[in-house]
Amino acid sequence: MAELACLNGRIMPISEAKIPIEDRGLQFGDSIYEVIRAYSGHLWLLDRHMERLKASILALNITGVNLNEVESQIKMTLQRSGIGDAIVYLQITRGVAPRSHAIPQNITPNIIITVRHIQKFPEELYATGVKAVLVEETRWARRDIKATNLLPNILAYNEARRRGAFEAIFVDQADGMVTEGSHTNVFAVINGVLRTPPADHRILPGVTREFVLWLASKEGIEVDVSPLPVSELMEAEEIFLTGTLTEILGVTLLENKIVGTGTVGTITKRLHSAFREEVRKAIESAA
């Protein structure tokens, strides 16, 4: 099993993959990305990731991308690597051109794929829950585009680490509304109802977030997708985070306040169990 890169259709060791210095992804962050998880060789929710990728491409008007070829390259690289439990990173840059703020026309995008062994979170985190902290929302207004301009997310995440927390949750200071985590979406159970902010321009429409909403409906859990004030989040009975790597992870400490009873909540556990069952069924059906 080997960790591999695929650069514009050519598979190679990751250390050999190179892009020109004038690539606009490097110079301007003029690029988009997706992170896809493979369970036992099965690319989980690939269709939904590709749909979101298409939306990002259209939003930034990146031309010259054949999505069918991109999907084939993802599958080919994963298969060639031989890694069953993998993290697949896909980045599409606008391409190479002399540095200028003006967007050049008719350049060829660079398509970069890496397949690596996944670094799983310890299972005890799902049993005990994690700490999260609140940080001020400082990002641009189009968080619905999965662009590679992630410096505010990185700074927020490292602030959370400095404060002994797993995740930083952004709060818009203009209206006191929760948006999302530095690398996760946020859910809360308030008065028995599952709450999460709407997928507008202020959050990334997480693939796992969307799947959890479907799971909740399937499980008969009442859901309210609407703006979530931080004051209500602070009083939630349960809080959990969702993401491709995170799956569904309970928050039992917010800032220095115990969430609910201080243990991972019933709805959080129920949804994570249902999530894992859907993964199991998908792996079996693909075998």
Which amino acid, 287? A
Active site residue 146: yes
Contacts of 235 (CB under 8 A, 6+ apart): 190
**Strand residues in 119-245 grouped as ranges (E):** 130-136, 167-172, 177-181, 185-190, 193-196, 223-225, 228-229, 238-243
CA-to-CA distance for 73 and 111, rounded, in angstroms? 10
CA-to-CA distance for 129 and 109, rounded, in angstroms? 41
Beta-strand relationship, 42-43 and 31-39: antiparallel
* Annotated active-site residue in 18, 54, 75, 146: 146
CA-to-CA distance for 65 and 94, rounded, in angstroms? 10
What's the 3-state SS for 99-140? Answer: CCCCCCCCCCCEEEEEEEECCCCCHHHHHHCEEEEEEECCCC
CA-to-CA distance for 264 and 218, rounded, in angstroms? 21
Q: What are phi and psi of 149, to 5 degrees?
A: -80, 85
Residues annotated catalytic, as ranges: 146
